[in-house]
């Protein structure tokens, strides 16, 4: 068998393996179902850290206040904003939103971990839901996520969001995030207690029981981590609580990054933290996984080329005159 044909078959099997993993992950995650709760539903504290978010905080709060879940509160921490963030929170929330002022950042903490850590003792709810200030939720999001938590007995539920695409670069590159999760990562391992070190979550929407949050050490467990969502899910799972992910792309929208430089800095920062800051693991990710990650940009053309190439070679060999 020629080297060209071996390469064709290898690429075809790679394509089929990715497709199988995507379908498996879609079945594993699923989409959270709509849920109607009674008035005695557990109190959920929607917790929003905000620093200089005047462009997005109003839209975020309006989506939180429009939730159809019957029993929730909204708490915003103003992390030393120098813009109109605080006044927009007051104007948008009125008496339905509590606004607290953040303390100075202590040594050994990242800004978001410190802000979320301060929000947790201010929360009154049995369930804590951390939402990024550049994120909006469909009205049924909280009801559906709380339903997943109750049905699965989970300590943490996180929803895969869709990214708003405010630029050409965002429209092209940001879909790589859900593709990477579906095509490269076996989601069933996150749900399995047999793999306590394998866990992931999505920072724009993290719903936890208070028991799981406190038992895991909360945001203080890895106060210096830049991937607070991943570290939180690992800590919750290590504490013995199930972690559940669900496909929330029709429920949660977040504004991750815009320009190419912003996207590259954000992706590289989070990816490096995701491999525990190991340069060897980072190199392996770049050298081995990036070609697979980029595959969707030419998957259709590549698949057709491979199939036609195999057919042509087989057809040419069988049909040539003797």
**The pLDDT of residue 149:** 96
Q: What are phi and psi of 209, to 5 degrees?
A: -75, 150
User: Which residues, 6+ apart, have CB-to-CB distance to 27 below 8 Å?
Assistant: none
**The pLDDT of residue 165:** 57
**The pLDDT of residue 320:** 43
- Residue 309: count other Cβ atoms within 10 Å of its Cβ: 17
**The pLDDT of residue 295:** 59
Distances (CA, A) of 285 to 16, 45, 211, 277, 291: 21, 37, 35, 12, 10
The three-state secondary structure class of 45 is strand
pLDDT tens digits, one per residue of 158-173: 998 887 655 554 555 5
Residues of the chain predicted below pLDDT 70: 1-19, 21-22, 24-28, 164-185, 256-322
**The pLDDT of residue 296:** 57
pLDDT tens digits, one per residue of 212-236: 999 999 999 989 888 888 889 999 9
DSSP letter string, 177-201: HHHHHHHHS-HHHHH-TT-TT----
Question: Residue 104, class by beta-carbon neighbours within 10 Å (0-12 exposed, 13-18 middle, 19+ buried)?
Answer: exposed
* Tokens 């509160």 -> residue: 73
**The pLDDT of residue 317:** 47
**The pLDDT of residue 64:** 98
Task: Return the closest-CA partner of residue 160 out of 118, 128, 205.
Answer: 205
CA–CA gap between residue 270 and residue 227 (Å, rounded): 6
CA 101 to chain CA centroid, Å, is 27
**The pLDDT of residue 314:** 55
Task: Return the closest-CA partner of residue 28 out of 196, 181, 187.
Answer: 187
**The pLDDT of residue 321:** 42
DSSP-derived letter for residue 95 is G
The structure's pTM equals 0.76
CA–CA gap between residue 96 and residue 281 (Å, rounded): 46
């Amino acid at each position: 068998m020629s080297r060209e044909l071996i390469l064709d078959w290898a690429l075809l099997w790679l394509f089929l393996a990715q497709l199988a993993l995507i379908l498996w992950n879609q079945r594993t995650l699923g989409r959270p179902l709509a849920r109607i709760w009674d008035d005695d539903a557990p109190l959920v504290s929607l917790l929003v850290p905000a620093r200089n978010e005047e462009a997005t905080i109003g839209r975020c709060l309006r989506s939180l206040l429009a939730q159809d879940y019957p029993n929730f509160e909204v708490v915003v921490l103003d992390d030393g904003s120098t813009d109109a963030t605080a006044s927009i929170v007051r104007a948008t929330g009125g008496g339905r939103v509590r606004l607290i002022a953040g303390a100075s950042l202590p040594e050994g903490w990242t800004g978001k971990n410190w802000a979320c850590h301060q929000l947790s003792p201010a929360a009154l709810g049995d369930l804590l839901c951390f939402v990024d200030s550049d994120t909006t939720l469909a009205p049924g999001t909280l009801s559906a996520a709380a339903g997943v938590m109750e049905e699965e007995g989970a300590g943490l539920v996180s929803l895969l969001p869709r990214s708003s695409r405010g630029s050409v670069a965002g429209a092209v590159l940001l879909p790589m995030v859900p593709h990477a999760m579906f095509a490269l990562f076996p989601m069933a391992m996150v749900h399995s207690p047999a793999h306590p070190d394998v866990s992931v979550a999505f920072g724009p929407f993290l719903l936890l029981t208070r028991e799981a949050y406190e038992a895991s050490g909360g945001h203080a467990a890895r106060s210096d981590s830049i991937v607070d969502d991943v570290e939180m899910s690992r800590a919750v799972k290590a504490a013995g609580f199930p972690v559940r992910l669900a496909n929330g792309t029709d429920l949660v929208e977040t504004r991750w990054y815009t320009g190419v430089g912003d996207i590259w800095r954000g992706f590289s920062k989070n990816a490096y933290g995701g491999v525990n800051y190991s340069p060897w693991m980072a190199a392996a990710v770049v050298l081995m996984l990036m070609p697979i990650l980029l595959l969707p940009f030419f998957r259709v053309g590549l698949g057709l080329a491979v199939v036609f190439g195999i057919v042509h070679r087989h057809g040419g060999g069988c049909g040539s005159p003797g």
